[in-house]
Chain A
């Protein structure tokens, strides 16, 4: 910001300039209101007493505050179960993805073998397809494996779908770690296994953390796969549960939905705020690259 001080000398205030700035401020404030309104309206709905969308005042926080909607959410729906299901699926997916991907990436980065190039190229092609392009076959495969309406089936599909891209990502990172480091370890008697855990993993921690976080947040708002593979209400994830709570029943369930949405959005916004510094760096790094 400081370098802008050098560049723009304050121009003299004239009538037309004053008008321009009034207009500019008006626009900025209107945009801010447009941004805030849906969010405030949702928060206020979550704490409202009435169940119907039609009964809500159009301005936020104009009605009596109440925790009735949260009560309904916990008592009348499987919301708590959905939350725990999602948490469980996200955590296990993160664990499997990290384990499977980092080991595979290590092999691709350190071993030389005939099938390496074709395998890497096929993964490159596979990662271009959206994961649900094969959804009918996934459904039938999971069905034939007896894993329909079972979280394990969904977790396997998630973990598998992310392997191609993530393996490339991690392999790229491992390639930048000098090979002499783990070769030295192996000369000292450590096998590939030990040098992987003792030498490579600690160095690759930032990338592995990144992978763990993205594979944890991925399943939270994913909709298509859980809707396809999970059937019973108690097994659903948050995205499907919330969608079906409100789809076609806007008027009756909006306030309860709002309560559920607030409970998801708040942790996400906290994580976002904590990560903001990191994220802007990632964004900037992405932008600077030619």
Chain B
């Protein structure tokens, strides 16, 4: 934002006609009155392109509003496909917004050029424009791939997902191309809140998601801290050997470990049950993953196996980096080992790990893999067959099942909005701590 830009707006022009011309048609003022032929031509070209395709713009955006009419008498391929219409409508809406942005930019440019002419008495020539274009084009060429990818593969899909929450896009009644999809306003939110089928499953899953995130993060944190402490004890021999062994779960990709555990805990053939029975500790196999409460406990215990090394490494690092003079000063003051731990080590560790604890908590809220690869969200019960939410399903894995297995896209979209509302504060908190955010200028 150069100072000329900011100053341009309030200046009253003696001759406003070039601006009027550019408002009427992009680039007209620049081309006919301001001797900015190349720039004007480029602007005009954009408008011509858009005008030539005006019917496509109108049709697509109208399609986004109507989502098509049911035409049951036509063959499937010729019926209105509401979902395609929706995606294309969003894309053309985005293109229209980009075009309007460029249009505004064109008017502003005509105004700026005119103001400069009235101040200096000459128009900036094509040569000056070209040299500024070289710099601008680096910026434009450099940014376009990133922006295009973001618009089409990130922003449009998210907008689409958010909009789905206000439609009835769901199996079996409203799946294109056989049927159309319609806007239903806030009906889905009402269903999730009131209809027993959804509200029961939602309440259970939401409560379990928070319980799961709390327990899984706490167990890993406490487990990691206890082991870090034990291994820093002077009397323990070979702490390095233990440490290397304990880090192993962190080095194996989590998805593989989870699938391995799923087999180890298999009620019928799993080696864990067979081992316990061989030792005579069990008469009957334990249904680790197929009993409602046991499955929840298993998910948390397996996650402890996966997650404690991270906190153990972290806390070990912090504890060994506490400055020695702190302890020396404490000793001189007569503090014993226990006092030193509670007054120096523990506060230091807590202070430095609280942000990471929060980050880990927000990660676990969405930890799809920890549930999906171990239990698949199961076990299921009578209520589950329709809603899809199993005993260990967290919101994220339930959302996945609603989309992938049950095709209840509208309900999944409502959930994704709710999940986002819960995650956003954490995401903002996490990001506000990063170096990029703190030190970078906007």
| Chain A residues packing against B (C-beta within 8 Å) | 1-8, 10, 21, 24-25, 27-28, 31-32, 34-36, 38-39, 41-42, 52-54, 56, 58-59, 100-101, 103-104, 106-109, 111-114, 116-117, 119-124, 126-138, 140-141, 144, 156-157, 159-161, 163-164, 167-169, 171-173, 175-176, 191-193, 220-221, 223-224, 227-228, 239, 242-243, 246-247, 250-251, 254, 257-258, 261, 264-265, 268-269, 272-273, 276, 280, 283-284, 286-289
B352 touches A141 (CB 8 A): no
- Chain A residues lying within 8 Å of B255, measured Cβ to Cβ, are 221, 223, 239, 243
B403 touches A136 (CB 8 A): yes
- Chain B residues lying within 8 Å of A141, measured Cβ to Cβ, are 87, 152-153, 156-157
In the complex the two chains form, what is the Cα distance from A36 to B231 in whole Å? Answer: 18
B253 touches A133 (CB 8 A): no
B349 smallest CB distance to A (angstroms)? 9
B254 smallest CB distance to A (angstroms)? 7
In the complex the two chains form, what is the Cα distance from A162 to B150 in whole Å? Answer: 9
Q: Which B99-137 residues have a C-beta within 8 angstroms of A?
A: 134-135
A111 touches B428 (CB 8 A): no
Q: A35-B248, A284-B317 given as contacts; is B260 within 8 A of A261 (CB)?
A: yes
**Most chain B CB neighbours (cut-off 10 Å) among A123, A134, A221, A242:** A134
**Most chain A CB neighbours (cut-off 10 Å) among B153, B356, B416, B433:** B153
Q: A112-B2, A120-B442, A129-B420 given as contacts; is B87 within 8 A of A140 (CB)?
A: yes
Q: Tally chain B residues at the interface, Cβ within 8 Å.
A: 112
B160 touches A265 (CB 8 A): no
**B435 contacts the other chain (Cβ, under 8 Å)?**
yes
In the complex the two chains form, what is the Cα distance from A239 to B2 in whole Å? Answer: 50
A171 touches B331 (CB 8 A): no
**B25 contacts the other chain (Cβ, under 8 Å)?**
no
| Chain B residues packing against A (C-beta within 8 Å) | 1-2, 5, 83-84, 87-88, 134-135, 138-139, 142-143, 145-147, 149-150, 152-158, 160-161, 164, 227, 230-236, 242, 245-257, 259-264, 266, 268-271, 274-275, 278, 305, 313-314, 317-318, 320-324, 327-328, 330-331, 337, 340, 352-353, 356, 366, 368-369, 372-373, 376, 396, 400, 403-404, 409, 412, 416, 419-420, 423-424, 427-428, 431, 433-437, 439-442
Q: A144-B84, A172-B434, A243-B259 given as contacts; is B230 within 8 A of A27 (CB)?
A: yes
A137 touches B157 (CB 8 A): yes
In the complex the two chains form, what is the Cα distance from A58 to B263 in whole Å? Answer: 12
A134 touches B270 (CB 8 A): no
B379 smallest CB distance to A (angstroms)? 14
B310 smallest CB distance to A (angstroms)? 8
In the complex the two chains form, what is the Cα distance from A2 to B224 in whole Å? Answer: 22
